[in-house]
Chains A and B, each alone.
Chain A
Amino acid sequence: MAKYLLRRLNLFLATSAVLMLVLFLATRMFPVDLGVALTGVEQPTQEQQQQTIKAYALDGSGFSQYVAFLQQRLGGNMGISMTSQQSVAGELVDVLPASFELIIVTSLMALALGIPIGVLAALSNSKATQNVIMALTLTGYSIPVFWLGLSLSLWFGVKLGWLPISGQLNLLYEIPRVTGFVLIDTLIADTPYSMSAFKDAVLHIILPATTLAVFPFTVVVRITRAAMANVMTQTYVRAAEARGLSTAMIVLRHALPNALIPVLKSMGLMLGAFTSYAIVVEVIFSWPGVGAWLVQGIYQRDYTVIQSGIMVVALLIIFMSILIDVLHTATNPLSRKELYATN
């Protein structure tokens, strides 16, 4: 197991290094002066220029430049934003929690609804139920997320006026920032209106989270259904039936644990597409997260923001996918079998 973890760590480092190389090369291709692309200072003084050359080893060989780039970026120095002249790292800390909040709520929604419906679809014998569920998931899978977001906000936000369609919280509420997660901040805020602010935050997250949840929900339903249908034909399920166990017991004790393993794996594969969708959703609902911030950055040709935004998001994805892989191995005794076989 230790060997396996070491190998995963190795993979993480190698992939990250290649990613950084891609970014490093892309930075030199930006249509601005290299120093500006690296630091974000548009009219640098003589002194600043000297400092940049020194920090990024611009007079050294390509390799030493890359190493210096790595040192600066991983050390937390991402330069300053070309538009706001604020530190990019600071802005990132501001926008990341909002994205996490959206993604966590969305994932919970998708899993909490997707797994039971998937199980239901697998266990149901009626052709009609199965067809309806499959048709719904296929449609959900094919729907363009920006269009779905626009339509939902048109109906529920504008025509019916039930839900707010932009931002995280009504601007009237002044909530001190503690964790960065608005849902938590409003709850712990020491103000008389903290409860109503929390309700407002919940209302704000419903539309973006629903829009974003459609895609992972459909994936979870489809994979749970397929895995469940497969597991239910296995001999051990039949053996459990022969032992006189009730269907509910079999599903909970034997079938579901086995069926959820591929679901976990599919979550890892879904990360990339999910992130793309999250960016679009953040833009549509003006959600103050990384995605909206990045897209704003590209509109304004803010190269430092683009670079570090991509770096952080991609690193997070690499980390998450390897984490899911490790979790998958840790929770699944069967994959440990394969490990023994390969070692």
Chain B
Amino acid sequence: MPRISIYQEDHIPSPSRRLWEAFSANPFALAGFWAVIFLLIIALFGPLIAPYSPEMQDPKAMLLPPSWDPAGTVEHFLGTDDLGRDIFSRLLYGAQLTFGMALLIVATALGLGFVIGALSGMTRGLKSSVLSHLLDALLSIPSLLMAILVVAVTGPGLENIFWAVGLALTPQFVRAIHQAIHEELQKEYVTAARLDGANSLQIFWYVIMPNVWDTVIIQTTLAISAAILDIAALGFLGLGAQAPSPEWGAMVSQGVDNLLIAPWLVTLPGLAILFTVLAINLVGDGLRSALTPIRN
């Protein structure tokens, strides 16, 4: 039979292109996306922009309110704390600690979780069971308790956060990836590929992974927002970043003493955390709803 092209062909965009189109159609998600890029720039170049060093104390300007207050000055745009340190500079430096650290932790946890999850997902029987359940016990220890345990062993400090939050996040990645791979393995198209003679590695990379990436992406965005909140909470409790550090959670806890006379010391770092986590969640939400039609 002759092939007749009666209707003009629809251009079918590639999956990543379609993902971007669906994602950018949502204004909130796009706003979150730009906010995240903005935060990344601050985390990378914050120290270059900051007018003061985070620990520099200005004895002439203590507890100065932000510049829009009649008593504030433009030199200290967001005011100063009880030691005369510039809040704006500290927030810029803190982005590196809170946001940058969260990215680092999640990247590590993702790498580790991906390897273990992929191994346990692709194998069967005892090995798979041991690998996937090994970390289940860790899953039941909330990140804060894990941090308390780590701090009890090594003493407080910023490095411990890395271990505490990382140990709490890794099992989540392992479980998510293990389950996603396991689910895909049950499907018929994998059997079809196997019948075509694909070996395990090919099946893993070319057949299963394209269908698991979305789980990984969603889990990653969830993990980043959880990591930021955890780092900040630990800093606030004094278990993570210690007193002079400009980590945002620690800044809140340093500002608590002057909560009544200088509420901006608590409000500003809190807003910074809220803004960051909100941006990440907007992106995560946008990605999830953009990925859903592709998955179905």
Contacts and interface: CB of A to CB of B under 8 A. Distances in A.
A touches B (Cβ under 8 A): yes
Interface of A: 11, 14-16, 18-19, 21-23, 26, 29-31, 138-139, 141-147, 150-151, 154, 158, 271-273, 275-276, 279-280, 283, 294-295, 298-299, 301, 303, 306, 309-310, 313-314, 317-318, 321
Given A158-B260, A299-B238, A145 B153 contact: no
Interface string B209-241: 000000000000000011001101100111100
B152 A139 contact: no
Given A142-B277, A295-B148, A298-B239, A18 B142 contact: no
A310 B141 contact: yes
Given A31-B153, A299-B238, A142 B281 contact: yes
Contacts of B226: 273
Nearest to A146: B236
A26 B143 CA distance: 16
Given A150-B256, A158-B260, A303-B152, A317 B230 contact: no
Given A26-B149, A314-B145, 8 more contacts: A22-B137, A30-B153, A147-B274, A151-B270, A275-B142, A280-B236, A310-B141, A318-B137
Interface of B: 133-134, 136-145, 148-149, 151-153, 155, 168, 225-226, 229-230, 232-233, 236-239, 249, 252-253, 256, 259-260, 263, 266-267, 269-270, 273-274, 277-278, 280-282, 285
A321 B148 CA distance: 22
A150 B144 contact: no
Contacts of A21: 137
Contact of A310 (B148, B233, B278): B148
27 contacts: A18-B134, A31-B153, A138-B281, A138-B282, A142-B277, A143-B274, A144-B273, A144-B274, A146-B232, A146-B237, A150-B252, A150-B256, A154-B260, A272-B141, A272-B143, A273-B142, A275-B144, A275-B145, A276-B142, A276-B230, A279-B142, A279-B145, A280-B237, A298-B152, A313-B145, A318-B137, A321-B140
A318 B141 CA distance: 9
- Summarize A's interface: helix, strand, loop or mixed: helix
B142 A317 contact: yes
B144 A280 contact: yes
Nearest to A299: B238
Nearest to A141: B281
A313 B146 CA distance: 11
User: A15, A23, A31, A276 — which one has the most chain B CB atoms within 10 A of its CB?
Assistant: A276
Contact of B148 (A15, A158, A306, A318): A306
A276 B281 contact: no
A147 B270 CA distance: 6
Nearest to A145: B233
A158 B261 CA distance: 12
Contact of B252 (A18, A29, A146): A146
Contacts of A151: 266-267, 270
A149 B263 CA distance: 14
B260 A15 contact: no
A280 B148 contact: no
A86 B225 CA distance: 40
Contacts of B230: 276
Contact of A139 (B137, B236, B267, B278): B278
A170 to B, nearest CB: 22
B272 to A, nearest CB: 10
Contacts of B229: 144-145
B152 A26 contact: yes
A306 B239 CA distance: 13
Contacts of A138: 278, 281-282, 285
B142 A306 contact: no
User: B137, B225, B237, B270 — which one has the most chain A CB atoms within 10 A of its CB?
Assistant: B137
A136 to B, nearest CB: 12
Contacts of B142: 271-273, 275-276, 279, 313, 317
B149 A306 contact: yes
Contacts of A154: 259-260, 263, 266
A29 B140 contact: no
A142 B281 CA distance: 7
B184 to A, nearest CB: 17
Contact of B277 (A16, A144, A273, A310): A144
A272 B139 contact: yes
Contact of B152 (A271, A272, A280, A306): A306
Interface pairs A-B: 7 shortest CB-CB: A147-B270, A18-B137, A142-B277, A276-B144, A142-B278, A272-B142, A275-B142
B279 to A, nearest CB: 8
Given A144-B233, A154-B263, A280-B236, A22 B148 contact: no
Contacts of A23: 149
